[in-house]
């Protein structure tokens, strides 16, 4: 316990000790040891963060946009300079391997770079002579205080990629409810943003339970909510925040599917599926947990997947040679194990069982090896619901049409992909799949940050997605200004038509 540090929350660029006296454990996923305690902030402390952001809004929104993005340029450079430190921090508190942890930080940096183009993306429209002598200009303006509720699985990319950059570049201020399981990455990145010159109150950070976080959904000074997490919680957040007049974007669960046709290059496809299914130990909403495989090649595909999965090296997340690190917590490992039992009970064939894996020297880490189920049927819960772990289900299908129908019958629609050499089927799939992010021979079709992250159905609630032009639109509102300047002739008018503005003389 002597090595366990107590973390603080941040308001007005000041790191403060909570008055609650209550803390939540942050563990090293690779060892099972508690490495820190993060505060369970009081409702008064959450309110304090909102008040700080509200006070900062007026000056920050009136700061020229080039100065706002200038801050992000400096922030991007500091992220790059501290990339290795941040990657180790992600790996230690979350459990994804070092390469994936670097990717988490790099994806945040990518969105920061994209947000530097905000002066272009915020440009409005104008039209001269919309009516006789009248001109109209449309402006995009910041709205006020936004709050972000952050999940545990991407502690760099989601808060400091999807949320903060476009929010503050467009002139808003922000209150972050960081994940209590993986808070240190967000805290360190906020330190770097402050080092880059962040004005007081523009970004504030708290950690707390759902009870305290609910204040953000109803607070009159919070104008919008962005959330990433479970669909069940997300639906409640969407309904509560919307009922309180706030803009809301909710990114929920996923059950992404892949379709493997018989003409696919099986060895290459199998390697890609292994990465897509077991990368980040399956703890990402763009993982590939279900593949539909044409029957003619199903035996070969399952054999290749098993061979490649067994070759993955399981170890501590921060070791350079680790392929598959631990899951985030012991509770989560137990939850994933429960899903494996569920699959067995449902009658799926357990080809590879990753439970009871042992990592020498790390007996208390939260390790779970790769799991492969074959002969899964579409109605099984393991095929329908999000497991969020290193579990892959194989469904055997007769043809393209059966596979596509199974995929589209799922209630979630974040991502989908097809593996084929056929241009026809690639195009048909892209056109007819329900998913918002589609890959053709790409297992994780996450778009670069110039495009939005476009989940559909039960994977997203709201009108505007994160990143890209949608991100700018979510954090701004439109204002149309119509103006007219009178000539000497106009001054002689005696009557104006109130419908079209034309002048009539007596």
Give the tokens for residue 451.
């495009």
Dmax over Cα atoms in the chain, in whole Å? 98
Q: Is pLDDT of 39 > 70?
A: yes
Q: Is pLDDT of 501 > 60?
A: no
Decide if 285 is catalytic.
Answer: yes
Which of 86-95, 190-199, 490-499 has the least mean pLDDT? Answer: 490-499
48, containing H or E segment: helix 43-61
- The span from the CA of 230 to the CA of 219, in Å, is 22
Please state the three-class secondary structure of 279-302 as a single string. Answer: HHHHCCCCCCCEEEEEHHHHHHHH
Give the tokens for residue 356.
């009871």
4, containing H or E segment: none
- The span from the CA of 187 to the CA of 8, in Å, is 9
CB-side exposure of 424: number of CA atoms within 13 Å?
Answer: 3
In the structure, what pLDDT confidence band is assigned to residue 339 with cuts at 50, 70 and 90?
very high
Of 145, 149, 143, nearest to 240 by C-alpha is 149
pLDDT for 132 equals 86
Residues whose CB is less than 8 angstroms from the CB of residue 68 and which lie 6 or more positions away in sequence, other chains included: 60, 118, 168, 169, 170, 171
Please tell me what DSSP assigns to residue 320: T
- The span from the CA of 48 to the CA of 371, in Å, is 46
Give the tokens for residue 54.
């509200």
The tens digit of pLDDT for each residue in 236-295 reads: 999 999 999 999 999 999 999 999 999 999 999 999 999 999 999 999 999 999 999 999
The tens digit of pLDDT for each residue in 340-353 reads: 999 999 999 999 99
Q: Is pLDDT of 19 > 50?
A: yes
Beta-carbon count within 10 A of 316 CB: 22
Structure-derived torsion over alpha carbons of residues 292, 297, 299, 302, reported in degrees to the nearest 10: -50
Assess contact for 128 and 143: CB atoms under 8 A.
no
Mean pLDDT, residues 300-315: 98
Q: Of 285, 292, 417, 480, which residue is the catalytic one?
A: 285
Place of tokens 């706002």: 68
* Domains by residue range for the chain, with CATH: 40-252+459-480 (3.40.605.10), 257-440 (3.40.309.10)
- Please state, rounded to an integer, the average pLDDT across all residues of the chain: 96
Helices (H), ranges, 62-174: 65-81, 83-94, 98-115, 118-121, 157, 164-169
Assess contact for 150 and 228: CB atoms under 8 A.
yes
Q: Percentage of the chain surpassing pLDDT 70?
A: 97
- The span from the CA of 379 to the CA of 287, in Å, is 20
- The span from the CA of 453 to the CA of 446, in Å, is 7
| Single pTM value for the model | 0.95
Packing angle, helices 231-243 and 210-218, rounded to 10: 40
pLDDT for 144 equals 98
Assess contact for 465 and 111: CB atoms under 8 A.
no
Assess contact for 116 and 204: CB atoms under 8 A.
no
């Amino acid at each position: 316990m002597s090595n366990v540090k107590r973390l603080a929350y941040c308001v007005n660029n000041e790191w403060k000790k909570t008055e609650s006296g209550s803390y939540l454990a942050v563990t090293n996923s690779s060892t099972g040891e508690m490495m820190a305690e993060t505060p369970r902030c009081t409702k008064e402390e959450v309110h304090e963060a909102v008040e700080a952001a509200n006070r900062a809004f007026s000056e920050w929104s009136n700061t020229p946009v080039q100065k706002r993005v200038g801050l992000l340029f400096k922030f991007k450079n500091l992220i790059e300079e501290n990339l290795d430190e941040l990657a180790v921090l992600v790996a230690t508190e979350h459990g994804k391997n070092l390469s994936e942890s670097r990717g988490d930080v790099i994806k945040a940096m990518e969105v920061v770079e994209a947000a530097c183009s905000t002066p272009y993306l915020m440009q409005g429209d104008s039209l001269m002579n919309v009516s006789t002598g009248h001109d109209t200009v449309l402006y995009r303006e910041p709205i006020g205080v936004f709050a972000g509720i952050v999940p545990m699985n991407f502690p760099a990319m989601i808060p400091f990629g999807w949320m903060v950059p476009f929010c503050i570049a467009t002139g808003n201020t922000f209150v972050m409810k960081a994940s209590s399981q993986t808070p240190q990455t967000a805290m360190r990145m906020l330190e770097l943003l402050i080092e880059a010159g962040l004005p007081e109150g523009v970004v504030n950070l708290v950690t707390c339970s759902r009870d305290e976080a609910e204040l953000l959904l109803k607070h009159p000074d919070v104008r919008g909510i962005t959330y990433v997490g479970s669909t069940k919680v997300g639906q409640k957040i969407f309904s509560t925040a919307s009922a309180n007049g706030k803009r809301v974007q909710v990114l929920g669960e996923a059950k992404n599917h892949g379709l493997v046709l018989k003409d696919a290059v099986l060895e290459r496809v199998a390697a890609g599926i292994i990465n897509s299914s077991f990368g980040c130990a399956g703890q990402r909403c763009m993982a590939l947990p279900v593949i539909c495989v044409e029957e003619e090649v199903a035996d070969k595909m399952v054999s290749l997947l098993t061979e490649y999965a067994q070759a993955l090296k399981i170890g501590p997340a921060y070791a350079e040679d680790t392929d598959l690190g631990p899951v985030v917590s012991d509770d989560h490992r137990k939850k994933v194990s429960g899903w494996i039992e569920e699959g067995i009970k449902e009658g799926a064939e357990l080809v590879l069982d990753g439970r009871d894996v042992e990592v020498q020297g790390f007996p208390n880490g939260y390790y779970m090896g790769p799991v492969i189920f074959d002969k899964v049927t579409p109605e099984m819960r393991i095929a329908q619901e999000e497991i969020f772990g290193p579990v892959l289900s194989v469904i055997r299908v007769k043809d393209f049409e059966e596979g596509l129908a199974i995929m589209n019958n799922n209630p979630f629609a974040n991502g989908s992909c097809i593996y084929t050499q056929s241009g026809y089927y690639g195009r048909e799939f892209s056109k007819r799949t329900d998913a918002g992010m589609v890959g053709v021979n790409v297992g994780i079709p996450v778009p670069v940050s110039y495009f939005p992250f476009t989940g559909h159905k039960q994977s997203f609630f709201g009108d505007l997605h994160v990143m890209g032009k949608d991100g700018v639109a979510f954090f701004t509102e439109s204002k149309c200004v119509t103006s007219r300047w009178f000539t000497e002739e106009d001054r002689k008018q005696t009557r104006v038509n109130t419908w079209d503005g034309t002048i009539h003389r007596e």
